[in-house]
């Protein structure tokens, strides 16, 4: 799974479009990161961590999977990028607060694990910490059922968990954050776009659906920025 994860998610014209957009949105949401320390919780194969390292950030990627980290470290070596990757538990982070961290949180259980992340690593007030959460928020039942059926038939499926918007927002508020910005990418299922395999068609169809307001209502995957409130 670790070796094929990126290929399944980000290969082909639509996977490339997905990756490019997510990297652009992450950079836009976080702003200038040159020289900043960034903690990427649930880094997986390090895609977000390495994207930020390219922009000069001092990144530490944490993940429970040694196999995912093996892939991340290999990619860092291939691209001659400086980033630290460590095996760690997102619920027991051992980091000091003397610097302004920007924390990226992702992964299949992000919505359930948010409340258990030790947010003391994020300084209060003054310097805002921005948290990135990603997940598919629409077609929850259909998407989950479809992947379970595909797995039962022996077909390869992507490893992710469908998240609901209200679960994410509730967990963010419970941790003392407020959602500052949000980005949604597709109205139609990514699998449908990948089946068509046309970047230009995808962009044309999604622009039309966004123009009538559907992207704002049901678009996914979703990236949000949450800022820790001063107390």
128 vs 187, higher pLDDT: 187
Which burial class, exposed, middle or buried, applies to 34 when counting CB atoms under 10 A from its CB (0-12, 13-18, 19+)?
exposed
The CATH number that applies at residue 99 is: 3.40.50.150
Instruction: Give the pairing of strands 58-63 and 84-87.
Output: parallel
Residues 6+ apart with CB under 8 A from 201: none
Give the separation between CA 28 and CA 25, rounded to whole angstroms: 5
**Tokens describing residue 9:** 């998610």
Tell me what pLDDT residue 169 has.
76
- Domain holding 151, by residue range, is 2-228
Can you count the helices (H) and strands (E) in the chain?
10, 7
Tell me what pLDDT residue 125 has.
42
Bridge partners (DSSP) listed for residue 104: 40, 132
Mean pLDDT of 27-42: 84
Residue 136 contacts residue 218 (beta carbons within 8 Å): no
Q: With 60 as the cut, is the pLDDT of residue 103 above it? A: no
| 166 Rama class: left (phi>0) / alpha (psi -120 to 50) / beta | alpha
203-231: pLDDT as tens digits? 999 999 999 999 988 888 778 877 777 65
Give the separation between CA 228 and CA 80, rounded to whole angstroms: 33
**Residue 204 dihedral angles phi and psi, to the nearest 5°:** -70, -45
The closest of 201, 87, 182 to 135, measured between CA atoms, is 182
**Tokens describing residue 6:** 């990126």
> pTM of the full predicted structure?
0.74
Domain count, the chain: 1
The closest of 149, 78, 73, 140 to 111, measured between CA atoms, is 140
22 vs 168, higher pLDDT: 22
154-211: pLDDT as tens digits? 766 665 566 667 777 777 777 777 788 888 889 998 888 988 999 999 999 999 999 9
**pLDDT interval class at 84 (50, 70, 90):** very high
């Amino acid at each position: 799974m670790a070796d094929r994860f990126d290929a399944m998610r980000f290969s082909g014209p639509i996977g490339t479009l997905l990756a490019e957009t997510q990297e652009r949105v992450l950079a836009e949401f976080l702003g200038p990161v040159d020289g900043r320390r960034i903690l990427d919780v649930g880094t997986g194969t390090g895609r977000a961590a390495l994207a930020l390292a390219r922009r000069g950030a001092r990144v530490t990627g944490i993940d429970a999977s040694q196999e995912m980290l093996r892939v991340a470290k290999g990619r860092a070596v291939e691209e001659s990028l400086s980033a630290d990757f460590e095996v760690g538990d997102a619920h027991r982070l051992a980091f000091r607060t003397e610097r302004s961290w920007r924390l990226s949180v992702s992964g299949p259980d992000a919505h359930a694990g948010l409340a258990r992340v030790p947010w003391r690593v994020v300084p209060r007030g003054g310097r805002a910490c921005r948290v990135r959460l990603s997940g598919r928020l629409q077609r929850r039942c259909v998407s989950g059922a479809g992947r379970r059926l595909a797995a039962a038939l022996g077909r390869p499926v992507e490893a992710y968990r469908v998240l609901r918007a209200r679960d994410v927002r509730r967990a963010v508020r419970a941790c003392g954050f407020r959602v500052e910005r949000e980005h949604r990418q597709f109205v139609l299922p990514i699998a449908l776009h990948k089946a068509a395999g046309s970047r230009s068609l995808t962009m044309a169809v999604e622009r039309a659906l966004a123009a009538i307001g559907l992207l704002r209502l049901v678009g996914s995957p979703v990236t949000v920025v949450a800022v820790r409130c001063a107390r």
